[in-house]
């Protein structure tokens, strides 16, 4: 049992260290993207976005959340950061942009989010500010919160309840509008 405990703690330690190192790497990658975008005055075509690409950085100042936004929502991506949900608008573009994250890591602090809290998204295309409209709990199959919209909106999705052990029965959703 002692060896099993040591191995389990080692795995958790490795996972946390891996995520922290990746967050630092993603921050440098975003800074490079911003620098290249600022230096590039010609209208070059946008390269295709691949799973795992760094799209930006999301900050929720009141909660102390600062995390890289990656393309995709597979388990590796959500272990390293939060993921842009395929089929929704890209962060900073018109429409409803969906971002998912694990409740046990980067989105744990969403449990304390309030109406009117500010969310900032920094991408190579600029800094975008959002204000929280509401937060609610929905069923795991309810995708209506991700429907396209004409206004620039941000929808954050994580599992709920926050301290549940095992697969969670519901989702916690935060909706914010750009201002």
Among the listed residues 63, 100, 58, the one whose alpha carbon sits nearest the alpha carbon of residue 78: 100
45 in any annotated domain = no
Tokens of 34: 């911003």
Give yes or no for residue 38 having a pLDDT over 80.
no
29 in any annotated domain = yes
167 in any annotated domain = yes
16 in any annotated domain = yes
Q: What is the pLDDT of residues 68-92, one digit of tens each?
A: 999 999 999 999 999 999 999 998 8
Domain residues for the domain of 94 are 2-40+50-178
Comparing 14 with 171, the larger pLDDT belongs to: 171
Indicate the pLDDT class of residue 19, thresholds 50, 70 and 90: confident
Mean pLDDT of 146-173: 94
Domain of 149, CATH number, reads 2.40.260.10
7 in any annotated domain = yes
Give yes or no for residue 29 having a pLDDT over 90.
no
> Which pLDDT score, from 0 to 100, does residue 33 have?
79
How many structural domains are present in the chain? 1
Strand residue runs (E) in 23-123: 54-60, 65-71, 82-84, 96-100, 118-123
Spatial distance between the Cα atoms of 142 and 157, rounded to a whole number of angstroms: 11
Indicate the pLDDT class of residue 49, thresholds 50, 70 and 90: confident
Strand residue runs (E) in 15-164: 54-60, 65-71, 82-84, 96-100, 118-123, 126-138, 153-160
Q: Is the pTM of this model over 0.75?
A: yes
Mean pLDDT of 121-136: 95
Mean pLDDT of 141-168: 94
Residue 178 Cα distances to 51, 74, 120, 138, angstroms: 25, 27, 9, 23
């Amino acid at each position: 049992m002692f060896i099993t405990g040591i191995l389990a703690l080692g795995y958790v330690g490795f996972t946390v260290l891996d995520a922290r190192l990746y967050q630092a790497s993603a921050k440098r990658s975003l800074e490079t993207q911003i620098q290249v975008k600022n230096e590039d005055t010609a209208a070059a075509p946008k390269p295709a976005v691949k799973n795992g690409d760094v799209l930006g950085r999301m900050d929720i100042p009141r909660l102390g959340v600062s995390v890289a936004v990656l393309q995709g929502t597979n388990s590796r991506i959500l272990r390293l950061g939060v993921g842009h949900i395929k089929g929704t608008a890209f962060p900073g573009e018109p429409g409803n942009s969906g971002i998912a994250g694990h409740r046990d890591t980067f989105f744990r602090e969403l449990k304390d989010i309030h109406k009117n809290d500010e969310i900032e998204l920094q991408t190579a295309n600029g800094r975008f500010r959002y204000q929280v409209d509401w937060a609610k709990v929905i069923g795991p199959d309810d995708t209506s919160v991700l429907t396209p919209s004409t206004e620039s909106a941000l929808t954050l999705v994580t599992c709920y309840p926050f301290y549940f052990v095992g697969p969670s029965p519901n989702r916690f959703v935060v909706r914010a509008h750009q201002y």
